[in-house]
Amino acid sequence: MVRQIATILNVTGGADGMQLPSFLNDLFFYYIMLLVTALTYLTTYLLLERARFGYKLLAIREHEEAAEMVGVNTVWIKIQAFGLSAFFPGIFGGIFAYWITYIHPDSVLGAQLTDFMVVMAFLGGIGSLWGPFLGAIVVQLVQRVLWLVMGEGTFYLVIIGAAICAVVLFIPNGSLAFWKDRTLFSQGIRRPAQEKDQVVRR
């Protein structure tokens, strides 16, 4: 929907895209992206792990009706979460646009970019701080290596698709949670859910 709107608005350049002023300084964009990334992680950590906002989101995820019963305004919290999830990508998108100096609806609103964000989150592990970060590194490395080996093409999409299918089927909590579980299992430590399942089997 947003892509279709962007193709007809004059402010976005329509179907021809938008040309931005050039600022050819890769080192500047590297450090500004690094700074914004650090601020993003710090902000989300404080909001989701240390503030009441994070506990309210957790309550909504676990049982929305129960959260409403204890006084959580679920609609307003969801709106805030939606705004937060759009705020930081908007900042990154603005910086990226000035780096490449030209943006087009297909290059920033295409399905491939959106799918990659989902793949990164699922592959690393949703609901964790470092899971999406790890997933982004893996996806980008695989994409670049396959592009160097095979040249222009979309075969890497097949591999990425197969990887995400495997993650959803076998390690739905992501690779980070999988390795944590393996580490705990090797140390003889079981999670509460695992202990509960063992009691039920008995």
Whether residue 20 contacts residue 103, with contact meaning beta carbons closer than 8 Å, is answered with yes
CB 48 within 8 A of CB 54: yes
Q: How far apart are CA 164 and CA 124, in angstroms?
A: 10
Rounded-to-5 percentages of helix, strand, coil across the chain: 75, 0, 20
Those residues whose C-beta lies under 8 Å from the C-beta of residue 140, and which sit 6 or more positions away, are none
At residue 147, the pLDDT reads 77
Could you give the CA distance from residue 18 to residue 106 in angstroms, rounded to a whole number? 12
pLDDT tens per residue, the chain (202 residues)?
Answer: 888 888 888 888 888 888 888 888 999 999 999 999 999 999 999 999 889 999 999 999 899 999 999 999 999 999 999 999 999 989 998 999 899 888 888 777 776 777 778 888 888 887 778 888 888 888 888 878 877 877 656 676 777 778 778 877 887 777 777 777 666 556 665 554 444 444 334 4
| Contact (CB, 8 A) for 186 and 194 | no
pTM of the predicted model, to two decimals?
0.75
Distance CA 81, CA 101 (A): 30
Give the burial class of 103: count Cβ atoms within 10 A of its Cβ; 0-12 exposed, 13-18 middle, 19 or more buried. Answer: buried
